[in-house]
Amino acid sequence: MKRFFVIDLLWVVMIVLAGWTWSWHDQNEYADRLAHFGLSEDGQVFKTDSAETLQAVAEKLTQSDVQNVQVQFQDGKRIYVWGNTSNLPLQDGQWFTQADLTSALPVAVVGQNQTATLVQGNNQQYLKQAGRFIPVIGTVGTHGNNALNDVTFFNASATDEAAPRLNAVTIIADGSGLAKAKTKLQAIFSATSDRNYSYQLTAGNSWWADNGPTILRCAGIGVLAVIIAGLTIWLMVPSSLLGMDRQLHAQLRRGLWTQTVTHTLFATVIGVTIDWWWLYLTNRVRLVIFAAGLWLGYLLIVRAGVSLRYRKGGTFDDIS
């Protein structure tokens, strides 16, 4: 019916706005992850008093058969890596291969702001460090002033005596195999303690600073859903129909209710489909749950509002 066209259009627009809200949230989460060099908040930070070399520790990690874990030994803007589980955005070249991460020959992956300092050789760029020329195999980076653009990654397996020792770096492990490997890692690092890696602790952001804007946007979309519900109630129960025969009312309302459910469900699917293919979303399940919640809440408001309006109009039957 033509009266539902406006509702359908508004509903699709609202679901697209919901998708934009979660896309914005996901992009901020991704930017945070890049600022933490690909590490998630599921990571673990290990503290140790061991003065062992990073090369020796990398060899122990390889021999221990730890899988699906990346370990970063962070020393300011220099990060020594073991474990090939990175998903950082490459601007050029490649990330470390498994062979690189067990090799005694040093190679590097640099942030895009470091490229101006590289030395160009025959079809190869080099990073000059402590009198050595280290081959650069790739460049990572992202837009803005993200910390990722300013760091340099090295394969920990090729560190020499001049590199910092284990107790002089920040040890962070992450990956899908972390829970299974945690006991092994504690032993390898001779860890005296460990804690969860937290963006709030490392970046100084509060929970509200990270999530508050998304919550406020979702609340605004919820208000819009209530407004659309009010418009639906007004369209479903025009004043000319109030006071009509009780049986005719029930039949008419059942038909309108069925149309309302099917129209908005179809509009929800269209909106989610647009979001799914058009917007950047790393967690689509969140969007689907939010959209389903909006739809169910809308139906409850419409059901209650229509019944109340009919009651005030002089007749009342449940919409069923």
DSSP string, the chain: -THHHHHHHHHHHHHHHHHHHHHHHHHHHHHHHHHTTT--TT-EEEEE-----HHHHHHHHHHTT--S-EEEEEETTEEEEESS---PPEEEE-PPPTTGGG-SS--EEEEGGGGGGPEE-SS-EEEEETTEEEEEEEEE--SSS-GGGG-EEEEGGG--TTSPPGGGSEEEEESTTHHHHHHHHHHHHTEEEEEE--HHHHH---HHHHHHHHHHHHHHHHHHHHHHHHHHHHHHS-GGGTT--HHHHHHHHHHHHHHHHHHHHHHHHHHHHHHHHHS--S-HHHHHHHHHHHHHHHHHHHHHHHHHHHHHHT------
Please check whether residue 201 lies inside any domain of the structure: no
Residues 190 and 219 in one domain: no
Residues 273 and 166 in one domain: no
Boundary (domain end) residue, out of 196, 223, 252:
196
Distance CA 153, CA 169 (A): 14
Distances (CA, A) of 70 to 101, 275, 309: 11, 32, 61
Residues 221 and 126 in one domain: no
Residues 57 and 174 in one domain: yes
**Bridge partners of 79?**
74, 153
Distance CA 38, CA 317 (A): 58
How confident is the prediction for the chain on average, in pLDDT? 88
**Bridge partners of 194?**
46
Distance CA 141, CA 95 (A): 12
Residues 134 and 20 in one domain: no
Residues 180 and 231 in one domain: no
Does residue 36 register a pLDDT over 50? yes
Residue 114 has what pLDDT?
92
Does residue 236 register a pLDDT over 80? no
Residue 273 has what pLDDT?
96
Residue with tokens 């969007």: 287
**Which residue type occupies 290?**
F
**Bridge partners of 126?**
119, 135
What's the whole-model pTM score? 0.71
Residues 57 and 184 in one domain: yes
Residue 73 has what pLDDT?
98
Distances (CA, A) of 30 to 23, 47, 213, 280, 310: 10, 27, 16, 10, 50
Does residue 222 register a pLDDT over 80? yes
Does residue 230 register a pLDDT over 90? yes
Residues 262 and 285 in one domain: yes
Model confidence over 42-72: pLDDT tens digits? 999 999 999 999 999 999 999 998 899 999 9
| Range of the structural domain that residue 143 is part of | 39-196
Average pLDDT over residues 289-316: 83
Distance CA 148, CA 89 (A): 10
**Bridge partners of 13?**
none
Residue 254 has what pLDDT?
79
Number of domains in the chain: 2
Check if the beta carbon of residue 40 is closer than 8 Å to that of residue 174: yes
Does residue 241 register a pLDDT over 80? no
Residues 156 and 255 in one domain: no
Residues contacting 42, CB < 8 A, separation 6+:
174, 178, 196, 197
Please check whether residue 318 lies inside any domain of the structure: no
Boundary (domain end) residue, out of 178, 196, 214:
196
Residues 141 and 14 in one domain: no
Residue 239 has what pLDDT?
53
Model confidence over 290-299: pLDDT tens digits? 999 999 999 9
Residues 27 and 92 in one domain: no
Residues 177 and 70 in one domain: yes
Q: Using 50, 70 and 90 to split pLDDT, how confident is the model at 319?
A: very low
Boundary (domain end) residue, out of 170, 196, 222:
196
Model confidence over 79-126: pLDDT tens digits? 999 997 678 999 999 999 999 999 999 999 999 999 999 998 888 999
